[in-house]
Structure 1
Amino acid sequence: MIPHKTKHGAAALARLKAYEGVPDAPYDKIKRMVIPDALKSLRTRGRRGPACI
C-alpha cells in the first residue's frame, strides 16, 4: 500500500512503471530464458517437495 495522498507517495506512484507482458524497449533484444527449477516449484502443491521414485 502506497500513501498516495502524501507528496512522498504521489512521487513514488509517478516513478512506478508497470507492464503487461514483455515491454518493447529495452527488453526486446534480450534473449528469453526458461528456468526449469522455477517451473518445478510452480507445479508442486504447497510445501510438498518433488517425489523421487
Structure 2
Amino acid sequence: MEKYVLEELRITRVWLDVFADNTRAQHIYQKLGYQQFDTIPYDNKILLIFEKHLH
C-alpha cells in the first residue's frame, strides 16, 4: 500500500487511526515507522492517530 500511494498517487503522508486499547496494532504500526500525532474522542473511546511520511 505504501509503495502504491507513493509511486502511483504521489502521496507522501499516510495516516491511520487505532483505538487506544488496541495495543497490538499500535505496536505493529510503530514497528512499521508510524508515529502517533493526535488523539480523538470517538463513541466513548479514544482514537490514536498515527502518521508516516513516505520518501
- TM-score if structure 2 supplies the norm length? 0.22
- Which protein is richer in strand relative to its size? 2
Q: Relative CO higher for 1 or 2, CA cutoff 8 Å, sep ≥ 6?
A: 2
Higher alpha-carbon Rg: 1
- TM-score if structure 1 supplies the norm length? 0.22
- Which protein is richer in helix relative to its size? 1
